[in-house]
Each structure stands twice: as C-alpha cells, then as structure tokens.
Amino acid sequence: MIWCVRLVLVVLALLGANPLHAVQVDEILPNPVLEARAREISHELRCMVCQNQSIDDSEAPLARDLRLLVRERLKAGDSDNQVLDYMVARYGEFVLLKPRLSWHTAILWGAPLAILLAGLFAIGFSVLRRPAGSPLAEAGALSETERQKLSAIARSPSEQQFTARET
C-alpha cells in the first residue's frame, strides 16, 4: 500500500514538473509579450551545435547567441517572419527545425506520402494477384494416399506410448 502512495506521488511530481529551458535570467525581456514571441520563435530554430534541440532548450554558447539575436531583432521591431527570414538568410534553411515547403525541400515533405502510396499500391497489387480460392480450403483436401499415411502415423507405437505417458 505504501509503495502505491509513493508511486502516485512520483507520477504527480513528474506530471507537475515544468520543462527546463536554457534561457538565462539576463536574456529575458522585460516586456512579457515580446518574451513570449521570442520563446515561440526560439522553439522553431535549431541549435547548430546540438542539431536536434531548439535554441530555447540548448545550453550551447551558440544557442545563447542566437536567442540574444532573436530578442534584439524583436526589440528592433521585426515581425516573427522577419526574424525567421533573417536567421535563414544568415544561417541557411538548416536553422529551422521545421523546414519550409519549397522546391529544394519538396522531397523532404513528399517522401512520406510517396512511401505510403507505394505501400498501399504493393498491398493492393498483392491482394489482386491472389487467387480467388482460399489457400486454407485447398490445403484441407487430402488425397487418399495422404490420408493413409496420416492414419499410419496416428497409429504408430511411438505415438501411442507418448499419449499414454501424458494421461
């Protein structure tokens, strides 16, 4: 009973925990609206050092520089899209965690759909190629020689001894 209470407390503690962000106190903007926008933009930008983390989650020095740059651009009056465009112009499309749809990223966005369609086509093709009769019904029909062999196996002495041991 005590272990159940402890388990519930641990689960509640984990569910109530806020995610840690690498944003330091000296980076936070005094304007809460601008800070919320900076956080939203930071979630969309990739840390060039960590590569699978946003700059908001990364503690790398480059991520800190990028967070400060985002905040500077917002204080200068740039819109969210202008900040993202500035970052892409400076660091390339790779800086975005979710690349934009364009001609050079079309294969990235189209590959999952193409794989899904190829799989559905393969399944449909295999279903259409299958004969109309069920393979199980054909396997159930035994010839006379097969029945004789089966009954001989069923009557073999080793089989009878095996079944006698089980009972």
Domain spans in the chain, listed from the N-terminal domain onward: 19-103
The CA distance from 110 to 98, in Å, is: 14
pLDDT at 70: 92
Sign, CA dihedral 53-55-57-61, equals positive
* Domain 19-103 in this protein, CATH class: mainly alpha
Q: Is 96 strand, coil or helix? A: strand
The residue among 85 and 20 whose pLDDT is bigger is 85
The CA distance from 99 to 106, in Å, is: 10
pLDDT at 157: 64
> In this predicted model, what pLDDT tens digit does every residue of 13-52 receive, in sequence order?
776 655 555 666 667 777 889 889 999 999 999 988 887 8
The residue among 131 and 153 whose pLDDT is bigger is 153
> What pTM did the predictor assign?
0.54
Q: Which two tokens stand for residue 65?
A: 């520089």
